[in-house]
Amino acid sequence: MAGKREEILEVAARLIHYRGFNHTSLDQILQESKVTKNLFYYHFKSKEELGMAILDYQAERAQAQLFGPALQGEGDPHQRIFRLLDRVLEAAQASDCRGGCPIGNLALELSDIHEGFRQRTQEIFGRLASQIETVLEELRAAGRLQEGVEPKELALFILANLQGARLLGKTYRAPQVLATCFERLKDHLNQLFGIGAGQAPESPRRGGESPSVSQNPA
């Protein structure tokens, strides 16, 4: 039964990612997942409960494929921040920028009309930003973050840039839009990290192959 629940969740997450929550009907989910309505309600009390589960599912994917490998791996703190940008870009390139960020999509669609979804997406974004903040705290502790810059605020700024770039990439359907946004963000971060133009850290994508990234984990 647990396997069938995961199957329903994965199918629904895929459909909702591209069609939106309100434009994906329960009948479409049942048809694609090949389950009966009774079996669906055995695992999920409502479409709303399914939506909450999808948010958690997408957050786990973002953690496993993007934020965890980039920020919690080895390497200098500023390289880990840049590695996150590179992995997000790779995920967008893998899907030709279709779909966008599944968490961001749900936040845009539902935050103004459903307080429960708004709170859940805020919690998820907060956890992701907190991981960026932890790496920035390492830079500050080493005296490598410009004086007066608060890691918490900068972490939110970086996350906002990630979300905004994904939205523009989806709209233009052009990975180069993300690449340009992230290069300019790296230039700005280099200034805050006290790194000159000729000293910018080498991108992990240029220095060696990085693990594969599934399409649109975040």
For the beta carbon of residue 16, count every other beta carbon within 10 angstroms. Answer: 24
CB 162 within 8 A of CB 171: no
Q: Which domains does the chain have, with CATH numbers?
A: 1-44 (1.10.10.60), 52-204 (1.10.357.10)
pLDDT per residue as tens, the chain (218 positions): 559 999 999 999 999 999 999 999 999 999 999 999 999 999 999 999 999 999 999 999 999 999 999 999 788 999 999 999 999 999 999 999 999 999 999 999 999 999 999 999 999 999 999 999 999 999 999 999 999 999 999 999 999 999 999 999 999 999 999 999 999 999 999 999 997 544 545 444 433 344 445 556 66
Question: At which residue do the structure tokens 């996150």 appear?
Answer: 84
- How much is the pLDDT for 104? 97
> DSSP class of residue 174?
-
Question: At which residue do the structure tokens 């589960």 appear?
Answer: 53
H-state helical runs in 63-150: 68-71, 77-94, 102-110, 115-141
For the beta carbon of residue 101, count every other beta carbon within 10 angstroms. Answer: 25
Nearest CA to 125 out of 106, 97, 138 is that of: 106
pTM of the model: 0.87
